[in-house]
Structure 1
C-alpha cells in the first residue's frame, strides 16, 4: 500500500515510487497495481495507475496502464517472463501527469498459481488452418464457471508473432488476442477472460503470419 504525493520523485510531470526485486532468467512474474477512486471534494486521493517494469540494465521492458481510461480505481497488470538474472525495478506512477493518490501493489511468482505452463512448437507437422494454411496447435484445460483466466504465448526465439484464441468444448470463441492488448511483437496476451460455465476449454496457438513458425511458451493462469 502506498500514497503518491507531491514530495515524491518527479519526472516529466509524474510522481514516482520505485520497488526492487531479484529475478531469474525465464522466471514468470505477475505484477498488479491497483489505483483508487476517491470521491471526496478536498484531499482527493484518486489515482489512475501506470506501471513500468525495468530490467537489470534499467531498460523498460513492459509498460501498462489502467484498461479503462474514463475512471479511477482501475488496475494496471503485467505478466512477464524475465529475460535475465538480476535486480528488477517496478516504477509506480499515475496515468495523468501531476496526479497523486493511493495505490496497492502486488508481485507474484508462485508457479502453483498457473493452470498450465508448457512448451510448444509451430512446425510443418502442426495442423493447418483452412483460411490461410497457417500452422496451429491446440492445448486444453478444465475450467470453472465465472473463473477468470489469462493466457500468454511467448515466441521463445522471437521467430514469429503469436496469435491465441480461447474456445469452449463446442468450438465457440470465448476470447481472442487483440492488437490493442499487445504486450510485444513476440508475445500475445488474453487478460482475464471470464469462463461462462464448467467445461473443457481449448487454446489455439497460431502465427499472425502464416509463413512463420517456431518454438513458443504457453502459460495459463
Structure 2
C-alpha cells in the first residue's frame, strides 16, 4: 500500500531550516511549485496543501505539526456500493469507533496506545447495564450516561418501528478509534467485520465516530 505525507502546519514556517534539515524542504513546500520527489523523496504533491489547511484549522496548535507529517495510507480508490432498495426495506448495522463493548469482553488495549485494531461484537439487543467504554481519547461521560450517544440501538429500533429503516441487524461492531496502524486494521479487523456484515445480510452500515 502506498503512503503519503500531508502538507504542513503554520508552526513549520517559524522553523529556521538548515541546508540538510527536512524542515527546509517542508518550508519550501509552502511556497514552491516543486514536487516532493525532487527534494527529499516526499510522496505527495502540493495539491494536498489546501486540503491540509482545512484539516489543521480544527486542530489545537500543538497537534498541527505531528498530524501534518505523520504517514497515512494513500488509498487509490474508495469502494462504494449504491443501495439497491429503499432504506425502508434495508437491514442496517451499527459500527462505532467509540470503544463500546460488553463488560464481560476483554477491554481495548489503551496501554498499547494506537495499536489495538481489534473489534468487539455487541449484540444489538444488549442492555445498557451490560455495556462499558474503554477509550482514553475522548470524553465519554455522556456515553457512560446513555450509550445511544455512541451505539444508538434504541433509536434505530424506533426508526424500524416508524418504517424509516427495515430492521436493525443482530450485531453491532465496535473499535477503539485511536488506531495508528491503518494497514493492519484494513487487512485484519476491517475484513472480518465486512465478512460478518455479509453473513448477517446487512444492506447498509451507519458509523458513529469518536
What range describes the TM-score normalised by the shorter chain of this pair? under 0.3
Determine which structure has the larger helix proportion and give its number.
2
Structure number with the higher strand fraction is 1
Which structure would you say has the larger RCO, counting Cα contacts within 8 Å and 6 or more residues apart? Answer: 2
Bigger radius of gyration among the two: 2
What TM-score, normalized by structure 1, do the two folds share? 0.23
